[in-house]
Structures are given as C-alpha cells and as structure tokens.
Structure 1
Amino acid sequence: MKIVWSSCFLLISLISFAQNGGSDTRSLFKYTIQKTIVPIQLDGIAQENEWEAHDVTTNFYNHWPNDEGQAQNQTEVKITYDDNNLYILAKCYDKGERIIQSLVRDNDSDYWGSDNFSVAIDPVNTKQSGFMFGVTAGGAELEGSLTIEGSQTWMSENWDNRWASKTSQYDGYWLVEMEIPFKTLRYNANQRTWGINFIRGDKQNNAYTTWTQFPVNFNGVSMNYMGSLEWDQSPERAKGTFIFNPYVTSSSTRDYEEENQTETQLESDIGGEVKVALTSSLNLDLTLFPDFSNADVDQQVTNITRFSIFLPEQRNFFLENNDIFSNFGTYDIKPFFSRRIGIMEGEPIPIDFGGRLTGNLTQNLRIGVMNVQTRSTEEFAAQNYSVGAFQQKVLKRSVIKGLFINRQATSKTEELDYTRNAGLEFSYISENGKLNNTFMYHTSLTPQNYKDTHFYGLSGNYISKRFRTGWLLNVVGENYITELGINPRLENYNAQTEETIRLGYTLINPWVRYITFVKGENKKLNYHGLRTWNNLYLNSDGSFNEVENNVAYDFEYKNTARLNLIARYQKVDLLFPTELIGDDFTPIPIDDYSFFRFDLRYRADSRKTFVWNTNIGYGQFFNGTRMGAMLQGSFRLRPWGSFGLTYDFNDIRLAEGFGENKIHLMRFNGNISFSNKLFLSNVLQYNSQGDNFSAFSRLQWRYSPMSDLFLIYNENHDTTGLGIKNRSVVLKVTYWL
C-alpha cells in the first residue's frame, strides 16, 4: 500500500503542471452546416447546382510527421444534409501521383498505407466516443468506432454500419462524396453542436494533415482536438430506427479426428440480428443463433513464454461498442474479454441468443448492458453471461467507470456454479490530454468464498511532443479469478506435478521515451529517439520474482522505413519446473536465471511494390540460448492484389539434458480485389509448435450496402504426415433490411 499512496502523491503534484497548455480547437475551428434544397446525387462529381450554396473549409495543417505550418497539398471540404443523411464532399489536391494499396474494405493497414480522406465525428459532443468514416483514392472504405484509452483516441475498424461513398480521380486532385445516414449515428436530437475533424493521408509525401491544428503526440482522430460542426437547426431523430439483418448458412463439415463421425455432415442454419434505436443516442442490439463463420481466421503465433497467450476477438457482435465493457484494467490484466464467451478450451460453443444495450442515457452518462446464453454440449454446461458497465464523465474530461460481470451455469450442474466480478475505476485526464492516470479496484466472487480476491492499482502516462513517460502498478490477489477476462500470470503450471497453482503478485512497470524530430527539406529521417521500459514482478509477500529491463533506439525514415535496435536483460526466480519448448523435453528446474538478448528490426519502404521487413535476435535463454529470425515479404499488384509470405524461426538450445528445438511458423497471405465490393482472401499457415497446417479461403461479395454473400473454405492438417484433422465449406448470405 505504501507504493500506492506514494504514487498517488506524485500524480497529484503533477496535475497542476499538466493542466495548462493546449488550445480549445472546438471554439477555434467551426463549420456551419446548412440543409440542402437540392437533392445530392452520390456520384463522386462536384455538381455546381448541388454544392455551390454550401461553405467550403480548407487550410489544412500539417500533423505528421511535422505539426507546424499548413499542408503542401491542400484539401477542400463541404458539408450538408437532408432529412435522412449527412453529406460530405472532399477535394484532395496533389500532383497526380497516388498510392492505392488495395480495394479491400475495412483493411486498416492498407487504408492508412494509401492516399485517403477521413472524417471523425463526436455526435454527442462529450469527447468520450465517436465514429470515423474514410475512403481511399481508389474507393476502398473503412469505418470504425472511436474510443478513449488514457488520453489517446483509438479506432476499432470492427464496427460496421451502413453508409456509402463515391470517388473520382483527376490530374491534379481526386474527389470523394460521402453519404452517412443519421440512423447510423448516435446523437442527441436536441443538440446543435457536434465534434468533427477531417484527416487527409498524402502517402507520396508520407504525411497526414488535419483540419484543426494540434500536437503531433496525439493521433489524427483525437476527440480532444476536433473542431465544431454547428447545425443551422437541430437534426431530428433518425427515421427508420428498426433494422433487421438476417442470415442463412449452408455448411458441409467433417471432423476426421472424431471416431464416431464417418461422413460429412450437411447443415443449414438461419439467424439474424436486430438493431433498434431506442433513442437517437441509445441502441439495442439483439441476436438469435449468431453465426461467426465469416470471421477472419486466427493468426498463428509462437509461444515460448511461461504463460498462456490470448488471440484477439474476431466476431462482430462482440466487437461493436465493445469498449464500454472491455476498457477496464491494464494491458496485463483485463477483467472482461469477450472471446471467453462462446469458446471453451479453444472450441466454439453455440450461442442461442444475445442482447446488448449501449449508448448515452444523458450527455455525460454512457452505459452498456449485455446478456448472452450459450447452448449445452456433451462436454460443457449451458452458460448465461451478463455484463453491465457505465462511464460517468466528471470534471472536464475525466471519467468514473464501473463494471459488473456474472457467469452462471444453467444446466448440468449439481451445485451452484458461478463467478462474479465487479470493479470501479477513476480515470483522470488533464484538459490538454498530456497527463492521464487511472485508479482501479476490482474484486471477484465464487461459491468457495476465497480470500485475497482483489486486483487494484494505477496506470497512466505523461505525453509531450518529445518527452513521454508512463507508469503502471498492479497488485493482484491469488484468488482474483477472471473467468471472463485475461489474467495469465496468476496461474503457474508445475510441469513436474502437472498442477496449476495460483500465485498473487505485484507488477511495477515504468517507461520513458524521448524523441528527436528532424527538420529540413532534404532530411532522411522523420525522427529518432531513445526509449526504455521495465517490468518488475514481486511475489505477494514482497519478495523478488522477475525483472525485465529493456532499452531501444528507434529510427523512422522519411520514406516510411523503420529501424529498431533493442537490448534486453531478464532475471527470473523460477518457482516451478517449467516446460519451455514442449512436453517431450525435461522441464528446466527451479533456480535463479539471468540472461541478455539483442534484437534488430527493420521495415522497408511500405509504399514500394515489394515490401519486406525482418526481426533478428540472439541471446541467452534461461539455461541455454535462443536465436530468433523473422522475415516477411509482400508483393503488390496495386490495387487488385497483394501476396505475402512470413517465416518465423526460433532455434532454442537449452543446457545439456534439457533439449533443443527448432520451431517453424510460416504464413502465406493472398488477397485479390476484383472490385471494391468483391474480394477473395486466402491464408495458409504452418505451425510446428502447434502441430497444425491450415488453409483458409473466403470469397466476399457485398452485393448491397451491409449485405454480403460469403463462401468460406477451411481445413486443418497435422504437420508430421499432413494427415487431415477437419474440413468445412460454408455458404453464408446476409441481408440488411
């Protein structure tokens, strides 16, 4: 507790220092929107009779890599609306040379790697949540939800909703028209001011420019530095508040490892989702028999740590507005992780129904309530999952957050089977966003009524243009059980007794970074800088458990290339015999280990037709050595095709008697864009550690807005004799009503 109170005192002393500075961009940058009297035709052409009556805003400012001065290639924007839609016209000037990486929609890396135009909107005008809509010069679309983590704004491209755009290209500029239905947005119908900003990606100059001017240490979609969209009259509540999105699937599957399954199983399923706008800012989502067959395939990874790893959520139902539930805890501990629902021991569990209510009850109060019911199987009982959360804005930008989680077995249980978690957090964010800190306290409850069920601590950072520092403190009781969350370090596996033992711990994680930005027209570098981050783990009694000290020097070049030099020192008091390279080898024994490692990472110019990057590292590894090498290359036939190959190799040689192992991970990605509505993606993965070779292929045709046809093929083999494990073919059709 002394550590906690000392840290609190230090942070309070910093608050007055961080309050000053930073301009109010919402009062400095304003656009007055007027209702159109001429119907807007979405064709990517700036018809004079459509747009001439509306004001134009321009004079975009440099934001990345330099936040000084006005943009070399300017952008002009006009906005209007009618009874149903918001319309945006952007004219993006350049020298006629554009980079269009792909036509695939909702591809984050390809989008930001192309010439693009984006609009970020805060319809509730609270600087807490919002939306982003963007289009590349080639017409590839990206939409996402905006959320606050610390003082930074982040976008999740997994939010999906109905809108439309058209682009056209000319010698000295390209045009984009956007049409965003009001029923896609969540807003206060009585409010006449929204937050808004425009972001332009100019990839020939490797630059990003914005309508408002603000520091480079905040990303372009920052909700704290938006301008204001002033309405000539309050937009009415959106019409058509009921949306039905049914689906039908037909599948052919066979599990060759299941002895009782001797032939292919043919199945057909129907289900769907309903979206109901209870108010203009509060939305109800319902799902019946959801199907996630069209979700992206998991990317295989190599794990040579002592703890479990967690793959990201890929299912849209859980991703939309997920931040209200998931934005708790720290990077090391997440009280709620939606992938725990509907997946048991890596196997999908059918979900019968689910519901989610999210949005703003008042200007400053945001809520989320979710309930999901899974079906019973031969191995697992049916489960009901309930999650509730709220965010109450206080002070200028700060937030009080609360979370409650309940997992309750609803079948096949002789005695009461449940776990419950509750937590309360206060996130302080200074007015200019440079300082933020979150204080948190969480607890868990199970039928066993354990003691030491707490998790508390703090996490924050101070960010200026050049100097950046952060801190984290986690204090975890040995019985803080998060069945619906992530807490990998709590559970320690004894490879000798084959037992899993829970051990509480304390994590202290300070980090510091200093960046030097390079100026001048003939510069080779955008910036270079030193950073260090350190992790100290203590046992629950305060004794030493593990420390990892890291120092790196980073270079980012003007041509988008990057170079990172990293040195690491690690010292571990190993408490249990541990398997690091597989259960075929003798576990390394209990002892104190210390070792050094050095890494070099390089990524070439991402604008080229052929792009490559590598990561090479060598050093000590417990009682042996480890050499790791990753090489990745991709070839682009812009904008219709990209083909990439990744090879990740680890050569681990432990002391004599404890084994050697060479771990291979290979992945091939082939993506073809027949148009900006028809896509084919293919993934081949070979993982010797997981004994799996997989093939995944998905054809997607967006035949109507938010309506898709998917054809998915998936099969898995072992890596020894390439014997087949399972195979499936799925045809899925969705329609937006």
Structure 2
Amino acid sequence: MNTQLLVTILSLCFGIVCSQKKEDEIIRKKVLVTKTASSPKIDGILDDAEWQNAPVATNFIERNPNNGKPQEDSIKTEVRILYDDTGIYFGAQMYDPTPQKIAKELTERDGINNDDFFGVTLNGYNDKQQSLEFVVTAAGVQFDAKITTDGEDSTWNSIWYSGAKINDKGWAVEMKIPYSELRFPDSNVQEWGMNMFRRIQRIKASYDWNFVDNQKNSYTLFDGILQGIENINPPTRLSFTPYFSTYINNFDGKTTSSFNGGMDVKYGINDAFTFDMTLIPDFGQANFDNSILNLTPFEQQFSEQRTFFTEGTELFSKGGMFYSRRVGGEPTVYPATSEKEEVLEYPSKVKLFNAFKISGRTKKGLGIGFFNGVTQKMEATILNAETGEKRKEVVEPWTNYSVLVFDQRFNGNSSVSLVNTNVTRDGNFRDANATGILWDINNKKNTYKTFGSLKGSWVMNGETQFGTRGEAGIEKIAGKHRFSLNGNVTTQDWNINDLGFSTRTNFANYNAWYGYRILQPTEKFNNIYMNFNLNYFHRLEPFLYSNLLFNNNNSFTDKKFRVFGGGIEFTPFGQNDIYEPRTSGRHLKVPAYFDTWIWFESDSRKKLQYNFTIDYYAYNETGRNQVFTNLGLRYRFSDKFNIYWSFNPSFSNNETGFAGKNDTDIFIGRRQRNTYENALTSKYTFNEKMALSLAFRHYFSDVTYKQFYTLNQDGSLADTHNFTNNLNGTYNAWNVDLRFSWWFAPGSQLTLLYRNATSNYLETSRLNVKNNYDMLFNEPMVNNLSLKLTYFLDYNRMKNWIKKKPAKN
C-alpha cells in the first residue's frame, strides 16, 4: 500500500511538471567590459584614471519591498567594470542624499548586521546554476558565498581585495576579484552570468542590476550577462595555508602545554575542480557545543564548528546523508571489563589524521564531489584493581571515511544526484555503506517541481543489516499561493549513523502543505507569510497509527519593520509514541494536545532590539502542560561595540518518559522538568580586520520523578512498586570563550583564545540557585589559553619571491 501511494504521488508529480508551457522570457541586461593596462588602487576612492572610460552599469531595480520598482535617482547606483590579465575590477558609487545616515556597523569578516552593502554575483559558466558572491559593507567588511539553486552557502571563503569609503555623494566600493578565485571555461572569449545588488539598511530596501522576481525561488535564474573578457590566461590555482598553534591547559590542578603545526592545501585541478587537503589538522579553537540534558530516545545532533568541514560543502550536504561530526567524533566501542577492572582512560574524541575533498562542476552542469578522511587508532587504558596490571584495548581502529557525490543540473533549476557514503574500519570492527538517488525537477516556468529520493543503508557487523528510505512529492514554488504534497517511508533497519545522522525508523509520513504569501507592500504590512500543514504518521511493521498533526504558522512585517507572528498546532487523537519505550514493537500512549505560540521581534535598525517567544502546550490530561519561552535583548553601543543576551526558561509538568526496563517490564516515569539557559555574546570590532568577542553560556536543567509505572502492551500505564531507582538529576554546563581575531593579511589570521568550561551531573534535583552554583564551581574547571597563526601563501606570489635576480653586466 505504501509503495503504491509513493508511485501514485511520483506519477502525479511528473505529469504536472511535464504539462507546463515553455519558460517565461526573462530579460537579461548586458554590459560590455574593457581591458585596462594598469590596475586601479583598491581603496574605495574612485579617482583613478582607469575608471574614467570604463562602461557604466546602472538603472537598478528594487527587489524588496516594492518588487519591480525602478531605483530613484537620489539613491541611484553606478558601477564601472574593468579587467586585466589577473582579475576583474568593480568600482561602484552608491548615491545617498544623507551620507551621515548610512548604516556601517563593523563586524568580523563574513558578518553583515546593521549595514548597507554592495555585492556582485559571477557565474563563469553562464548556466544559471551556481554563482560566486562577493559583498562589501559600507564599513569595509567582506562577505563571500556560493549561491546555487539550493540556496546560499556562506561557509565558502575566497581571497580577494576591496575598499569602501563614505563620500559626499554617498559611499563607494572598489573590488578586485582574481581569476584564481573564479570558475570559468577555458575559452578565448568569455560570457559570464552576472548580477549586482545593493542594500539600504535604514529603509530595508534591496536593489538588483538585473531584475529579480521575488515570487520565484531562485536568485540565480535572474543573472544578467557580462561580456568582453577575451584572451586571458588564468594563473595556477595553488595555495598553502600553514598553521602553528600552542596550548596551555590547566585542569584539576595540573598544567600541560603543547605545540602543533600543520597545513591546508588548495589546488585547482582544472577550470572546474578544486582539491582541498588538511594535513595534521588542529580544531582546538572550534566553538563549544551547546550540550543539553537529553532525555529523548535519540542522540543530540551538534552543528559543525571545524572550518575544513564547513567550507565548500554544498555538494556533500546533498540528501542529508553526511554528518561530518562522525569524522573525529566519539569512539564507537566502550571496553568490556570484569568486576575487578575499571577504565582509567577513555578517549573522548578520535584524532583526525588527514582529510581531503575534491569538488567542482563542469560546464555541462555535472557537479562531482569526493571526500576522504582517515582517523587514527584510539585505545582505552584499563586497570585491574586486584593485580594493579594495566592493559590497552582498541576502542576505535584506523578508519577511512569517504563520500562521493554526482549532481547533474539541467533546465536552469533541476537536478538529479547520486550520493554514496562509506566507512571502513580496520580489523573486525563494523563497516557501513549508504547510497541514495535524489531528484529535484522543475518545470520550464519554475513554478512547479517534483522531488524525491530512494536510499539504502548497509551496516556490516558480523552480518549485514539493510534498510531503506524513500520520499516523493510535488510542490508549487512560485506565486502567492503555494502547496506541497509528499510522502516518505523509512524501514526498521535504516541506519546511516556511521557517517550520517538518522533517528526515527520503521514509519511512514504523509504531508500536505499550503502556503500563502504577500510579497508586495500593503497599507499596513511589507510582507505576509502564512502556511498550513497536515501530517499523518504510522508505524510500518506491524502497522500502528502513530499521529495526526495539524499546524498553522503566520509571519508579518509591518511598516515599522517589526516582525511578529504566531500559530497553533494540535493532535486531535493523541499519539502512539513508538520510540520512547526504547523497545521494538512497543509504544507509549501520549494524550492529545493543543499548542499555541506567539513571537515578536522589534526593528533591527534600532540601537536597542528585543525579541520574545511564548509557546504553550496544553495536554488532554490533568496537570500536564509544557511552556517554552525565549527573551532576547541586543544593544548596539556604537558601530564597533554590541552585546546580546538571551534567556530561555522552559517547564514541562507531568510529562511521561522512559525510566528503565528489565527482562519482563518497561518502566515509565512521570516527571517535572525545569530548564534555564542563559547566553551572552558581545563583540568589540576595532576595524574590519580586528575584533574581540565574548561568548558565554550557562545551561541548567533538572528533572524530578514523581511516580513510576509499568508499560502495558496497549501503550497505557499501570501502577508499579517494582521500580524504586533514583532518577532525579541536575545537569549544568558552563562555557566561556574570550577570543581576539586579527585578519592581518588576505586569508591569514592570528587568533588568541581563552576558554573556561566545566559541567556536572548531580543525582539530585530542585536545588536552589546558590547550592547549584556552589556545587558546579566545586567541579574541576578547564582553563585553556591558545594562540593560533594561519598564513595564506599563494603559489603565484611565491614564484615571484624565488625568481633569480638578473645578472649584472
């Protein structure tokens, strides 16, 4: 029945998509650039002679809020473009009758907050599939990203040059983008897709050189055309980024130190593909994880903090099958010990030996990505308390991780992808493989699309465990009225957790979604978004109704740029939770609930900005409810200094959850849970290259069990006196990072970091604040001071350094 439904949905998808008419005509502006014999100085002052005869691109068109409105002359934008044998140059004058009101908050690189900015997107293959984005704020801060039909990947970083200055006409930008940072075919005559855009923050208006229809879902479809670049010889794309780091650690009265060195290598294999490698990587300065007291049946998922794994990963994220935190994560085995043995040392992380990735896209739209990483063998130390003898046991062998992706794009905004992940461990440890075929096919008008996937997973651990996951759907992606119909099925043995992240299995879900949006301003609002969702879940084997869920979300932006909204959600028939019992074939009945929430965010242009959320669940059970709240305050003292504080208390009253089990019974506990999270971030930015930042978080959660039950076969609960374990607990996590960053040269950075951290878990609850803090600060604290230097070396510049001087006559 499930297979037939998926086939029906898939057939409907292709039928609707293939029945559409030909693509609407998109007008593409053109600009013809000229070559310059000498390069202008990149300082944000447009007084260089080279700019005087350069062609001018102007007549920008508003994208938001008044889509399609020509830019007014008083705030017009004029851009001059040049090229030489090393790169392409942009000189932009942004007119503004009130230069003193230009928003120019200083941030670190890749940060855009309360800023006016100017940017360029370049597509060397002119295929409307992917562009490289380069942005400069009025404060001179750089931002860069990759843009594809899937969205914007801001983790991509490039080496380019820019300058920005406020002047009596408004403000100006100069940019040089070297050819080594771009991708384009090996051809004597180039024709690139290009767009340019501008943001005026005080009126929250966005403008583009080539008109962008905000009712469509892809920015890359609306490129203009850049012509005139001829007979250029791109340089070799080869760079080295060596690093040196030193650490001083103090923990529990012991002080240790270390010195490390390694290098990243980047090489342009050809015009389309790039090789990246990290040798002896050092991730000691990665941001801390926001750990929580996790009472769910599922592992907590953390975001990736390591630079190598966050940059240029848009291909590897296809299908959600690669979770990079598995590479260099926790060991997969905990040693078995006898009654006389104890584990003295157990590695919390596996060391990454090296990793590399190759990625790019051909001129015919085929994207290819290959990742490979190797982690070292890790051992635990075990002590025999009776004999004093110590032994070593391997808890993670030498392991190879690989990901292979093929992504073929066509028809402007469609793709079919193949993704394979593989984990091979040395010896008798488990191996794993997963493969998926994905499709995302738009009609010619880019108003409808069909999407889906077929995936399989294999886990080899003595015997092979094979699982599958499939999805199919259709979606209307343009206009005021949008909708989506889709379904997915996941079998019991689906498991990609050796290199991916998966939680729920053995279920089917069918979803219907309708969205309504107003993107042109009305009398009271700049935009309005509404959507309605209906989800039905059931267990696959044996069949069991799981949940029917409806929700509605609404968002409004008013004329004062305040953003607010809310919604409702309810499950009219309650839920059969098939995961909470932690036992296959069993389920826990959860009563029906009604959830409602509201949220508000004040005008972000103001010095003081605040936001809040209140989310309340009322269950169809006496005394059972949940409350989630959030309060955020940000104050901008100046363009250099700001501070943000957030407070997130939540309370869950009379919830039920897994408590334990024995050979015959599963025990469920009724509990009260209170959680408080305080976070403070602050940043002082000295200039566009130097900043001091503070990140603080204290997380506190306690749980108190009131009563225990035995789980019946039908999911109901029966009173029990057979379970008397103390499960009350309090978890604290305390983290402080104080970081000084200096981008002293393009691609080169010096970082000084002080870190203070501790955590504890207490087998008691409902402590008062003073006692809780006293017990937390009695725990050993990590105090860490580290200094890391990375330096960017470009092969072409290095060649000039080592050239022999000509012999004297």
TM-score norm. by structure 2 comes to 0.81
Structure 2 residue aligned with 1:245:
241
Structure 2 residue aligned with 1:498:
none
Using the TM superposition, give the Cα deviation of residue 456 of structure 1 relative to its aligned residue in structure 2, in angstroms: 1.4
Q: Does 1:701 align with 2:718?
A: no
Letter of the 1:650 partner, please give it. Answer: S
Distance 1:37 1:86 in 2: 12
Structure 1 residue aligned with 2:780:
724
Distance 2:677 2:293 in 1: 7
Q: Deviations 1:621-649 (Å, cap 9, x if unpaired)?
A: 58510112110000012310110100001
Using the TM superposition, give the Cα deviation of residue 662 of structure 1 relative to its aligned residue in structure 2, in angstroms: 1.5
Residues 512-523 of structure 1 mapped to structure 2, 5 A cutoff = 512-517=514-519, 519=521, 523=523
More off after superposition, 342-351 vs 665-674: 342-351
Letter of the 1:479 partner, please give it. Answer: D
Distance 2:260 2:251 in 1: 19
Distance 2:302 2:153 in 1: 16
Distance 1:440 1:616 in 2: 36
In the alignment, is the contact (CA less than 8 A) between 1:103 and 1:139 conserved in 2?
Answer: no
Number of residue-to-residue matches in the alignment: 691
- Kindly tell me: are residues 316 and 576 of structure 1, through their superposed partners in 2, closer, same or farther at Cα, counting changes over 3 Å? closer
Q: SS where residue 443 of structure 1 aligns?
A: strand
- Kindly tell me: are residues 218 and 679 of structure 1, through their superposed partners in 2, closer, same or farther at Cα, counting changes over 3 Å? farther
Structure 2 residue aligned with 1:385:
401
The match for 2:107 among 95, 103, 107 is 103
- Kindly tell me: are residues 564 and 611 of structure 1, through their superposed partners in 2, closer, same or farther at Cα, counting changes over 3 Å? same
- Kindly tell me: are residues 519 and 324 of structure 1, through their superposed partners in 2, closer, same or farther at Cα, counting changes over 3 Å? closer
- Kindly tell me: are residues 638 and 535 of structure 1, through their superposed partners in 2, closer, same or farther at Cα, counting changes over 3 Å? farther
Residues 412-423 of structure 1 mapped to structure 2, 5 A cutoff = 413=427, 415=428, 417-423=430-436
In the alignment, is the contact (CA less than 8 A) between 1:215 and 1:465 conserved in 2?
Answer: no
Letter of the 2:87 partner, please give it. Answer: N
Using the TM superposition, give the Cα deviation of residue 222 of structure 1 relative to its aligned residue in structure 2, in angstroms: 1.2
In the alignment, is the contact (CA less than 8 A) between 1:505 and 1:539 conserved in 2?
Answer: yes
Letter of the 2:322 partner, please give it. Answer: F
Q: SS where residue 325 of structure 2 aligns?
A: helix
- Kindly tell me: are residues 559 and 314 of structure 1, through their superposed partners in 2, closer, same or farther at Cα, counting changes over 3 Å? farther
Using the TM superposition, give the Cα deviation of residue 278 of structure 1 relative to its aligned residue in structure 2, in angstroms: 1.4
Using the TM superposition, give the Cα deviation of residue 347 of structure 1 relative to its aligned residue in structure 2, in angstroms: 4.4
Distance 1:98 1:717 in 2: 43
Q: Does 1:619 align with 2:617?
A: yes
Using the TM superposition, give the Cα deviation of residue 437 of structure 1 relative to its aligned residue in structure 2, in angstroms: 2.3
The match for 1:200 among 190, 195, 198 is 198
In the alignment, is the contact (CA less than 8 A) between 2:757 and 2:783 conserved in 1?
Answer: yes
Structure 1 residue aligned with 2:733:
692
Structure 2 residue aligned with 1:438:
451
Distance 2:607 2:681 in 1: 16
Letter of the 2:95 partner, please give it. Answer: Y
Distance 1:276 1:576 in 2: 47
Structure 2 residue aligned with 1:531:
531
Q: Does 1:568 align with 2:569?
A: yes
More off after superposition, 164-173 vs 699-708: 164-173
Distance 2:232 2:638 in 1: 41
- Kindly tell me: are residues 484 and 361 of structure 1, through their superposed partners in 2, closer, same or farther at Cα, counting changes over 3 Å? farther
In the alignment, is the contact (CA less than 8 A) between 2:67 and 2:520 conserved in 1?
Answer: no
The match for 1:477 among 476, 491, 495 is 491
* Structure 2 gap segments, 5+ residues each: 332-346, 380-394, 657-668, 702-730, 761-771, 794-809
The match for 1:660 among 669, 672, 694 is 672
Q: Deviations 1:127-179 (Å, cap 9, x if unpaired)?
A: 23221110111111111122332xxxx21221112111100102331100011
Two-structure CA RMSD over aligned residues (Å) = 2.4
Q: Deviations 1:671-725 (Å, cap 9, x if unpaired)?
A: 1101111011111101113520110121101111110000112221236322234
Distance 1:284 1:211 in 2: 34
Residues 263-282 of structure 1 mapped to structure 2, 5 A cutoff = 263-282=254-273
Structure 1 residue aligned with 2:646:
646
The match for 1:403 among 416, 419, 422 is 419
Distance 2:443 2:736 in 1: 49
In the alignment, is the contact (CA less than 8 A) between 2:580 and 2:587 conserved in 1?
Answer: yes
Q: Deviations 1:395-439 (Å, cap 9, x if unpaired)?
A: 4542221111111113xx4x2521011122222122332222223
In the alignment, is the contact (CA less than 8 A) between 2:17 and 2:450 conserved in 1?
Answer: no
Q: SS where residue 592 of structure 2 aligns?
A: strand
Letter of the 1:703 partner, please give it. Answer: F
Distance 1:234 1:78 in 2: 21
Structure 2 residue aligned with 1:49:
49
In the alignment, is the contact (CA less than 8 A) between 1:125 and 1:194 conserved in 2?
Answer: yes
Q: Deviations 1:559-600 (Å, cap 9, x if unpaired)?
A: 321111211113321235569xxxxxxxx9922421011100
Distance 1:451 1:3 in 2: 26
In the alignment, is the contact (CA less than 8 A) between 2:41 and 2:48 conserved in 1?
Answer: no
- Kindly tell me: are residues 537 and 605 of structure 1, through their superposed partners in 2, closer, same or farther at Cα, counting changes over 3 Å? same
Distance 2:474 2:500 in 1: 20
Distance 2:626 2:641 in 1: 36
Letter of the 2:313 partner, please give it. Answer: N
Distance 1:53 1:576 in 2: 69
Letter of the 1:575 partner, please give it. Answer: I
In the alignment, is the contact (CA less than 8 A) between 2:458 and 2:466 conserved in 1?
Answer: no
Residues 424-463 of structure 1 mapped to structure 2, 5 A cutoff = 424-448=437-461, 449-450=463-464, 453-463=467-477
Q: SS where residue 67 of structure 1 aligns?
A: coil
Q: Does 1:336 align with 2:332?
A: no
Using the TM superposition, give the Cα deviation of residue 538 of structure 1 relative to its aligned residue in structure 2, in angstroms: 1.7
Distance 2:375 2:734 in 1: 29
In the alignment, is the contact (CA less than 8 A) between 2:127 and 2:412 conserved in 1?
Answer: no
Distance 1:509 1:725 in 2: 48
Structure 1 residue aligned with 2:503:
489
Using the TM superposition, give the Cα deviation of residue 204 of structure 1 relative to its aligned residue in structure 2, in angstroms: 1.5
Structure 2 residue aligned with 1:495:
none
Q: Does 1:714 align with 2:727?
A: no
Larger radius of gyration: 2
Letter of the 2:321 partner, please give it. Answer: P
Structure 1 residue aligned with 2:175:
178
Structure 1 residue aligned with 2:765:
none
Q: SS where residue 734 of structure 2 aligns?
A: strand
Q: SS where residue 184 of structure 2 aligns?
A: coil
Structure 2 residue aligned with 1:30:
30
- Kindly tell me: are residues 402 and 622 of structure 1, through their superposed partners in 2, closer, same or farther at Cα, counting changes over 3 Å? farther
Q: Does 1:159 align with 2:156?
A: yes
In the alignment, is the contact (CA less than 8 A) between 1:192 and 1:235 conserved in 2?
Answer: no
Q: Deviations 1:428-468 (Å, cap 9, x if unpaired)?
A: 12233222222311111222554651111124531223112
- Kindly tell me: are residues 252 and 575 of structure 1, through their superposed partners in 2, closer, same or farther at Cα, counting changes over 3 Å? same
Q: Deviations 1:165-212 (Å, cap 9, x if unpaired)?
A: 100102331100011111112221216111111111111111111111
Q: Does 1:297 align with 2:305?
A: no
Q: SS where residue 658 of structure 1 aligns?
A: strand
Using the TM superposition, give the Cα deviation of residue 124 of structure 1 relative to its aligned residue in structure 2, in angstroms: 2.4
Using the TM superposition, give the Cα deviation of residue 295 of structure 1 relative to its aligned residue in structure 2, in angstroms: 3.1
Distance 1:302 1:53 in 2: 64
Structure 2 residue aligned with 1:12:
14
In the alignment, is the contact (CA less than 8 A) between 1:65 and 1:216 conserved in 2?
Answer: no
Structure 2 residue aligned with 1:499:
none
Using the TM superposition, give the Cα deviation of residue 299 of structure 1 relative to its aligned residue in structure 2, in angstroms: 4.5
Q: SS where residue 315 of structure 2 aligns?
A: helix
Q: Deviations 1:288-344 (Å, cap 9, x if unpaired)?
A: 01112333333456867654442222222122221111122xxxxx21122221122
Q: SS where residue 13 of structure 1 aligns?
A: helix
Structure 1 residue aligned with 2:802:
none
In the alignment, is the contact (CA less than 8 A) between 1:122 and 1:129 conserved in 2?
Answer: yes
Letter of the 1:700 partner, please give it. Answer: S
* Structure 1 gap segments, 5+ residues each: 257-261, 329-333, 491-502, 580-587
Q: SS where residue 626 of structure 1 aligns?
A: strand
Q: SS where residue 12 of structure 2 aligns?
A: helix
